[in-house]
Amino acid sequence: MKDVGKWIIYFGVFAIFIGLIVNQFSDKLGWIGRLPGDIRLGSGNVKFYLPLTTLIILNVIIFFILRLFQWFK
């Protein structure tokens, strides 16, 4: 059970780190969520947004980062 607690702490620190990066570089990261393939629908007060291409790109980046960590392990 201690391992689960450590992983939750690591995830929290990682989330804070990513939040700080996004906060500092938000003007340069404006393309995230506005790529071709991201679906935006809206009418009046109802809006639907599905960042499909952005999710795929982030998934590939995270996959390669995790593979890199696994390779060094």
Residues 25 and 46 in one domain: no
Shared-domain flag, residues 25 and 38: no
pLDDT of 23 reads 86
Residues 61 and 46 in one domain: yes
Same domain, 72 and 43: yes
Tell me the residue range of the domain where 47 lies: 34-73
pTM of the model: 0.61
Q: Mean pLDDT, to the nearest integer, of 62-73?
A: 86
pLDDT computed for residue 25 by the predictor: 86
**How many separate domains does the chain show?**
2
State the Cα–Cα distance between residues 52 and 73, nearest whole angstrom. 32
pLDDT digits over 8-46, tens only? 888 899 899 988 988 898 888 777 778 899 998 999 899
The per-residue pLDDT for 16 is: 93
Residue 18 sits in the same domain as residue 39? no
Confidence band, pLDDT 50/70/90 cuts, at residue 56? very high
Q: Are 8 and 26 in a shared domain? A: yes
Whether 36 contacts 53, CB under 8 Å: yes
Examine the domain organization and report whether 42 and 64 are in the same domain.
Answer: yes
